[in-house]
């Protein structure tokens, strides 16, 4: 067992003796470990990537408010087994805060949810449950009394993401603009820029509200129980005010992709309408009551926006020399870009079909 990790874990008030600490999950940003104990619960230890989340105080404030609010709602609804339905973070022994830092690294510990399964891909049935769960998540947070901040300012702001791509191209820090493929992808992305920045314009015109959203609704950020029901939404670092397009679009970006996020075989990457229909139906059953007509009408746009935004973000990181996302091999961010771009094109072809389904 890693002595440093053991030391860090010992700063938190957890029950039981730690018997193992091992890597957990596939996140691209934080480092995550499972802390195995001989007590009733295991725990999740996470090093928060402070290079990306600059204001950990704000981030943990958001998470504390959100988990407290959801816990209260679940209690009011008479739910059972609440510790498996909302995350619980442990206090650090001396400060009582939900994280510990030595000024260089930031760490936190939450209870590991037992008998839960994560998936990298789902069936239409499970996508339907996920839709219900994310709609409910947003609905539960609609009346949160606390003020939440943006843990990454303008996280899903497409205008900003396009500007970051433009800056990366201008700086060409890693010399990657010499690659004609990169150049061509950049040109194609900018050709769609005006249209894809529509949400920010609508917001300025006052027709698109911000609500508290999850903002990282990758399919592997939810825990399912053995029957396929959603237990809990995890990875709450990016819960913040955003457009509802964030949660709707990012889930489909991962779940409706018939291939992998970084599939090298582009023939495998397509936008799956069956998953779209199941997810949209589930989502509207819980979110339908609070969505405004412009939000609802633009859900097909959201399904296009997120592969587009992700392609822009991956390409930006490739051009910058891979400074943001963890990569597994040289050129990984370019492979990811190609796959997300293909998914964007495939979703774009289905825009009408999506709109018809939502009207029906």
Asked if 221 interacts with Mg ion (CB under 5 A), we say: yes
d(CA 106, CA 98): 11
Asked if 160 interacts with ligand GN1 (CB under 6 A), we say: no
Beta-carbon contacts of residue 357 (< 8 Å; ≥ 6 apart): 273, 276, 277, 280
We find the least distance from the C-beta atom of residue 220 to ligand GN1, in angstroms, to be: 7
Binding partner at 310 among ligand GN1, Mg ion, none, C-beta below 5 to 8 Å by kind: ligand GN1
Asked if 238 interacts with ligand GN1 (CB under 6 A), we say: yes
Asked if 235 interacts with Mg ion (CB under 5 A), we say: yes
Among residues 92 and 261, whose Cβ is nearest to ligand GN1? Answer: 261
Residue with the CB atom nearest ligand GN1 in the bound state: 28
Asked if 27 interacts with Mg ion (CB under 5 A), we say: yes
Binding partner at 322 among ligand GN1, Mg ion, none, C-beta below 5 to 8 Å by kind: none
Binding partner at 58 among ligand GN1, Mg ion, none, C-beta below 5 to 8 Å by kind: none
Binding partner at 176 among Mg ion, ligand GN1, none, C-beta below 5 to 8 Å by kind: none
Encoded one letter per residue, x for contact with ligand GN1 by CB under 6 A and - for no contact, window 305-334 reads -----x------------------------
Encoded one letter per residue, x for contact with ligand GN1 by CB under 6 A and - for no contact, window 49-68 reads ---x----------------
Encoded one letter per residue, x for contact with Mg ion by CB under 5 A and - for no contact, window 92-131 reads ----------------------------------------
Among residues 51 and 330, whose Cβ is nearest to ligand GN1? Answer: 51
d(CA 116, CA 222): 9
We find the least distance from the C-beta atom of residue 351 to ligand GN1, in angstroms, to be: 21
3-state secondary structure the chain: CCHHHHHHHCCECCCCCEEEEEECCCCCCCEEEEEEECCCCCEEEEEECCCCCCCHHHHHHHHHHHHHHHHHHHHHCCCCCHHHCCCCECCECCCCCCCEECCCCEEEEEECCCCCECCCCCCHHHHHHHHHHHHHHHHHHCCCCCCCCCCCCCCCCHHHHHHHHHHHHHHCCCCHHHCHHHHHHHHHHHHCHHHHCHHHHHHHCCCCCCEEECCCCCHHHEEECCCCCEEEECCHHHCEEECCHHHHHHHHHHHCECCCCCCCCHHHCCECHHHHHHHHHHHHHHHCCCCCHHHHHCHHHHHHHHHHHHHHHHHHHHHHCCCCCCCCCCCHHHHHHHHHHHHHHHHHHCHHHHHHHHHC
Binding partner at 317 among ligand GN1, Mg ion, none, C-beta below 5 to 8 Å by kind: none
Among residues 14 and 275, whose Cβ is nearest to ligand GN1? Answer: 275
We find the least distance from the C-beta atom of residue 261 to Mg ion, in angstroms, to be: 12
Query: Interaction with ligand GN1 in 251-270: which residues (CB under 6 A)?
Result: 261
Q: Given the rule CB under 5 A, which residues bind Mg ion?
A: 27, 221, 235
Q: Give the residues lining the site for ligand GN1 (CB under 6 A).
A: 27-29, 52, 216, 218, 221, 235, 238, 261, 310
């Amino acid at each position: 067992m890693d002595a440093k990790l053991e030391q860090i874990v010992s700063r938190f008030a957890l029950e039981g003796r730690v018997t193992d600490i091992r890597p957990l999950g596939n996140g691209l940003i934080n480092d995550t470990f499972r802390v195995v104990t001989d007590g009733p619960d295991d725990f999740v230890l996470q090093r928060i990537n402070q290079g990306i989340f600059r204001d950990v105080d704000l981030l943990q404030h958001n998470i504390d408010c959100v988990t407290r609010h959801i816990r209260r709602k679940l209690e009011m609804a008479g739910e059972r087994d609440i510790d498996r339905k909302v995350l619980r973070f442990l206090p650090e022994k001396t400060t009582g805060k939900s994280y510990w830092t030595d000024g260089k690294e930031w760490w936190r510990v939450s209870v590991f949810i037992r008998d839960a399964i994560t998936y990298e891909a789902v069936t239409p049935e499970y996508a339907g449950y996920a839709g219900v769960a994310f709609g409910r998540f947003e609905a539960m947070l609609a009346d949160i009394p606390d003020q939440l901040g943006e843990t990454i300012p303008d996280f899903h702001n497409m205008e900003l993401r396009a500007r970051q791509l433009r800056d990366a191209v201008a700086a060409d820090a890693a010399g990657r603009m010499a690659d004609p493929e990169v150049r061509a992808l950049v040109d194609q992305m900018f050709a769609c820029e005006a249209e894809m920045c529509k949400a920010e314009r609508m917001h300025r015109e006052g027709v698109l509200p911000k609500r508290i959203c999850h903002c990282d609704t990758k399919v592997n950020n939810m825990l399912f129980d053995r029957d396929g029901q959603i237990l809990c939404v995890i990875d709450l670092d990016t819960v913040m005010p955003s457009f509802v397009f964030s949660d709707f679009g990012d889930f489909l970006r991962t779940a409706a992709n018939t291939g992998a996020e970084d599939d090298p075989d582009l023939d495998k990457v397509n936008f799956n309408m069956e998953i779209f229909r199941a997810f949209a139906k589930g989502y509207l059953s819980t979110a339908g009551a609070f969505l405004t007509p412009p939000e609802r009408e633009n859900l097909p746009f959201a399904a296009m926006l997120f592969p587009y935004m992700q392609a822009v973000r991956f390409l930006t990181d490739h051009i910058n020399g891979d400074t943001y996302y963890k990569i597994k091999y040289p050129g990984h961010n370019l492979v990811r870009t190609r796959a997300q771009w293909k998914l964007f094109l495939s979703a774009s072809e289905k825009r009408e079909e999506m709109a018809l389904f939502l009207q029906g």
